[in-house]
Structure 1
Amino acid sequence: MTVKRTAKRIGTGVAALALAGTAFSGSAHAAASDCPSGWLCVWSGTQYSGWMQKVQYNNADLSQFTVFATDTDSIYNNGESCDVQLYGGKNYTNLIGTLERGRKLSSGGTSLKILSNKWVNCS
């Protein structure tokens, strides 16, 4: 493979990651204050500790993200104008409940699986 072709493939991969980062993002540091305005954030640990994953928009399938799929112990709806419905199944099935805008929850050590989310009650 030529250097030019390799550089093009790397550039394409970086661009794809940058686009993916507009809807999903994760980090190893954690605090509820790290959740940006307009996002739903979840953490792998209690009291907003451990690995943080954040998401915007409606998402029919969050199973590719470990914190959502297996390890959610803390949740913060930092949405700007909407509540968020959380589902235990893909494609908005198995409603867990609705988390109001600005609301934070920490499970106390019981992990929750969230496989889809939908923004609702927008003002």
Structure 2
Amino acid sequence: MHIRRKLIAMTMLMSTLVLASPPTAAQAAAWDCPSGSLCIWTGTYGTGSRCAWSNADNDWYGGSVACSWASSRPYRSVWNRGTSSSYFGVWIYGGANYTGSYDCIPQGDRHSASEGYARSHRWRTNACW
């Protein structure tokens, strides 16, 4: 019985050490988005492949910043990290040239439950809601 208590104590200590370990590179990189940018990711909580823009883009597939996976995978996380006081939100459109259905992300907001295919975006001066 004494050996069993030692094994349980050792197991508890090892569990504590695992929980106290530093974050992995993937965890540390989550939600990495340059200030002033719109960022989207393939994974939840800002993980996976990322595309980022500091300006509007009328075609994510071949515009100023081409997002290599946007035509074949939905974005699952989004962060409007815009900083200009001239804009309230960024509109993300389903079609090129700011057409189709859209979603609006207020400045500073980030969402992990998003899921959508998109193809263009632009910052707007009017509020999202």
* TM-score, with structure 1 as normaliser: 0.66
Structure 2, gaps ≥5 residues long: 1-25
The within-5 A match list for 1:12-23 is none
Determine what percentage of the aligned residue pairs are the same residue: 32
Distance 2:92 2:45 in 1: 19
Greater strand percent: which structure? 1
Is the contact made by 1:43 and 1:67 (CA closer than 8 Å) also made in structure 2?
A: no
Task: Give the number of the structure whose alpha-carbon radius of gyration is greater.
Answer: 2
Q: How many residues align?
A: 91
Q: Is 1:95 paired with 2:101?
A: yes
Distance 1:68 1:80 in 2: 24
Give 3-state SS (helix, strand or coil) of 2:121's partner: strand
Q: Is 1:112 paired with 2:110?
A: no
Is the contact made by 2:92 and 2:104 (CA closer than 8 Å) also made in structure 1?
A: yes
Runs of 4+ in 1 over 4 A off after TM superposition: none
The within-5 A match list for 1:31-110 is 31-32=30-31, 34-64=32-62, 65-69=67-71, 70-81=73-84, 82=87, 83-107=89-113
Q: Deviations over 1:25-73 (max 9, x none)?
A: xxxx5411x1111000011101111111101211110024234332311
Structure 1, gaps ≥5 residues long: 1-28
